[in-house]
Structure formats: C-alpha cells, structure tokens
A and B are shown apart, each in its own frame.
Chain A
C-alpha cells in the first residue's frame, strides 16, 4: 500500500507523474514520441509494425464448435449458460485478489494515497481503474499500444463501477478541499482465455470489498495515519456490487435462433458474431448495458439475457461474499495466534 501524506497540498508532482500518459510507454524505447503535427508519420509507425497474432481458428475447428452448439454442447463440456468455476484467492495485503476463470487469470490490487481533491469536487475522493494489458496475457497485446479490447474494457469498467456510484466517493473525504483519499485499482491481466471483461469486473469489485483503509485522525492541520497494527483498518463504503455478465452470440440452434453463450473462452470469442455486456447488481438494478454492433438480435432475446444476467449475478455475489468471509475468518484466526505468541513475532 502506498501511503504518502503530502507535505504540502501544492506538491503534487509524484501523482502527476503517474498520470503522464507517455510514462506507460517508457518500456518501449524505440517508439517515437507522438507528435500531433506529424500525424502522417505517427499513423505510419502505428500500423506498419506487425505484432504476433493469435493463431487463427481453423475451418474444421469452427465447424466443430458451431455444430456442437447446435446440440447445446460446448467444447469444454459446460452448459450454454454456465460460467467456468470462479476461483478467488487473496494475498497478504488487503485489497489484493487473484481471480481465475478456467485459464483466464486477472489480478487486482487496490492502493490508496492522500491527495488534494479536485477543485470542482472538494468533497470527493478519487478512484481510478488502470487496465493496461501486456504481452503476458497474450502475445498479441503490446505494451503502450492499446487494442480495441483495452478501450472497451476500461470504458465498461468505468461505466459499471464508477458511473454506477458503487463506491461512495464522498466517504473518502478527509478534510474538505484539502485532503482526500485517492484510490487506485491496478488490474493485471496474466492469462487470457476469454471473458476478460467479467473477470476484471469481479476482480475489481472483490478487491474493493476486501480493501481496508487505515484509520486516520485529524487534529487541526495534522493528519495521522494509524498503521494496521495499531488500529483496525476500516472497509470502504461500497454501496452495491455491480457485476458484468458478457453474452457472446455465435452459431444457431435448431430453430435458427442465435445462441447466447455465457463466459466464452478465447476460442468462442474468436468465432462470435456479436456480444453484449450487462452489468447488474444483486438487487436487480441494471447499471449498464452495452451491445455495439454484431449480429442483430430480437429484443425478447436481449431481455432474456438481461434477466439471466440478474440471476447469475446473485450467485456470483454470494460466491464473492463467501470468499470474503472465509478470508476474514482466516485472517482473524491469524491475529489471535499472533496475540498469543506475543508481539515480538513479526516475520513480515
């Protein structure tokens, strides 16, 4: 956790550095600096580079997948509308979670620091979600060169979590106009086997629910941050848990209707003709729907999808809550042991 009380409200350069878009490209030293005047050159460089491609799906593979779908079968043996098993594991720190859906794996880490609030929103803390994909997830993702998936993903998370006001930003205020908490969610995409959007959303929500802010006391100008060992840190004020459910439209069933598949693998994603992401919380509030292009679908089918998403989210919500509770119990048990052994024990 990076906790850095600012010495002076105006010295904000550390944070500013993080926001500089060019800093994300430092790892790619050969990339020319984008000069707005020479648009032609930038475009040329942008597209002339070849990047390693994902292997294309062969015709035989395609036929096999689509024919199987006609009989309501999927290659990995799942039902059409079933998720892969969602595995959640937590790290030593608060706000660190590792989510696995089959071979898809995403890490989320929440960090907090104290900053000066924006002048137009003096009562609110800030929350940013960083989704930078690297070649670790798949060689076709390059550092500093966001793909379409990158844009879609960051926008969807932004709409699902930030715009639906899942996080009460006003609760992050410490001193109005002076100091607020600035939260940051860093998502690391480790392995890509389809459905990065849902996995990333589950990871972010779980990490937010797992995160604890250290207790602070304000006396006049001074802000004291109490270490975790001194005072029990407090959870964030999460108003609801929006969860994304992505439907992939591919193939046709026996009646010629388009098949909606849940939690598609990379193979199914490569074959799909359209997709729709619905974000719902367990109370049945739809926070966001996004279907851009792809195959045209009857309104009735879309409504069926939305209702199904609401059902699925109830299950996922319960799963996250259980995992969080189990982790809490394990942690508390550790704390008791620690008390028994005495405070000289401090291995970490």
Chain B
C-alpha cells in the first residue's frame, strides 16, 4: 500500500467495450466500484424526453439482486448527475450509467458505497465525453466523539472540528473528531455520517447525512442529532476537500489522457 491514504486508486477505461468506464478503489475502506457509461444511446419511447437526454442509473449489488438500497443509491446518483450533465445537448437520447459494486467491506452500508459510486460515475462520464456543466466530487466524513479506537488511521485522515478556529484546544469538551473516508469499523464508532458533494465552483450537489447508532461501547444516547453550526463548519471543510483536493485528483487522473 504505497499510495496515499486519501487518494483513491483510479483506473480509467478498464472496460474497452463501453464508451467510458472507470474503476475506483477507496484507499481506506477498500470499496471498489466499476462504472460504465454508454451514451448518447437510443432511448425507449416511453422514457423519451423531447428537450433533454434521459439519464438512467443502474446500481448492481455485489451480492444478491438489486433491492431497495440499490434503488436509493441510483436515485441519489441520478439527481446529482441531473444537475451536472448538460442534458439539453442531446435531446431524445439515453445516457446510461451502470455501476457495479465489485468489492465492499460491508455490502449493506449505504454511506460507505455512496461516495465511491459518485466519484467513479463522474470520472467515467468524463471519459465517455458526455457534456457536463462542471465536475463534482464527493467526500464521506464521519463525526466521532473520540479519536477512533483500534483502527490505525492515516496522516491527514483525522482532523478536529473545533469551535472558534484558533483556540480550539481550550474548549475540549465540544471538540469533535472528523474522519475522512472512514472504513466500516470507524463508522461503527461514529455519531453521524455525512456524504457531501460539491461542484468545482463550490455549489452543493448532494448532502446525505445520517445519524449513526453508536458502537457497542454502551454510550449514552446524548449524541442524538447534530448541531447546525457544527454541521456548517463540517460542510465548509467538505467543500474545501471537494473543490481543492477532489478537483486535483480528477485533474491528475485525466492528465495522462491525450484528450485533455
């Protein structure tokens, strides 16, 4: 494992048969996603839109047949893509995105899958040459009360969300620990999990937050919900990660390709 713990392993166009494809491995949770994009294709008459391209997102689970979880994931991806793709450039066509969960630490955990799915999809859309208004990037942040136990975390993966910037050390009890790209074990210890997606310009594309049931530590349930000002600071940090680091990752990944 020589690569940086915060930079995903990306392989572009692993599937030569599709218009654009990407394989994405999250460095910490080892979640591997493979997406392929085909389009613009012929669209089924009943799905045809007179002024726009139809976007179809299919999420295929690693184990079993697609169910409610996959439908939820694909609708989240669909709504994100709808605001990114310039659908009016190819009216009466179909842009088909298929995402295959290749490997996952926990095949049932939605937050662990969402970020890799979104990032991988966006990369494969770029490869397929689908016209997009801008690019987006997603990051998964877990909020913990204590530094993660029993799990070794990488440099820069954990940061503190202090109140009032500089003097964060003084108000220790209100400090929250944020872990980027948590794996399943860290997520089990987390209070809440937030998947934030921003465009390159810093617009919010998707925020998917959820309360996590605390790990088996017998913690009291006073961590119910989260403070809005904490959340805004968290979102601000997420925005920085997406707009700076995320965009840099996309740029580097595509740098080898002659098209760009």
Contact = CB atoms under 8 A, between A and B. Distances in A.
Contacts of A139: 38, 41, 96
B71 A143 contact: no
Contacts of B67: 17-18, 23, 26
A51 B41 CA distance: 9
Contacts of B42: 50-52
B58 A103 contact: no
Interface stretch (A187-195, A241-249, A279-287): A187-195
Contacts of A191: 15-18
A211 interface: no
A348 B30 contact: yes
Interface in B8-25: 15-18
Contacts of A184: 63-64
A136 B15 contact: yes
B103 A345 contact: no
B100 A188 contact: yes
Interface string A316-348: 000000000000000000000000000011111
A236 B152 CA distance: 33
Contacts of A51: 42, 44
A345 B18 contact: no
Contacts of B46: 30, 49
Nearest to B35: A136
A188 B33 CA distance: 12
Contacts, number: 111
A150 interface: no
Given A24-B66, A27-B74, A188-B60, A96 B152 contact: no
Contacts of A130: 64-65
Interface string B89-108: 00000101010101101011
Interface string B68-101: 1011001000000000000000000010101010
Contacts of A96: 103
A92 interface: yes
A190 B64 contact: no
B168 to A, nearest CB: 29
Interface residues of A, number: 44
A137 B64 contact: no
Nearest to B15: A191
Interface residues of B, number: 42
Interface string A12-33: 0000011000011011011000
A105 B100 CA distance: 13
A99 to B, nearest CB: 13
A97 to B, nearest CB: 11
Contacts of B15: 105, 136, 190-191
Interface in A194-220: none
A23 B66 contact: yes
Nearest to A111: B63
B65 A18 contact: yes
7 contacts: A18-B65, A96-B103, A136-B60, A137-B17, A184-B63, A190-B36, A190-B100
Interface of A: 2, 17-18, 23-24, 26-27, 29-30, 48-52, 91-93, 96, 103, 105, 107, 109, 111, 130, 132, 134-139, 143, 184, 186, 188, 190-193, 344-348
Given A18-B65, A136-B18, A346-B151, 18 more contacts: A23-B66, A27-B70, A49-B45, A52-B94, A91-B102, A91-B103, A134-B100, A184-B63, A186-B62, A188-B60, A188-B100, A190-B36, A191-B18, A193-B17, A344-B152, A347-B1, A348-B30, A348-B183
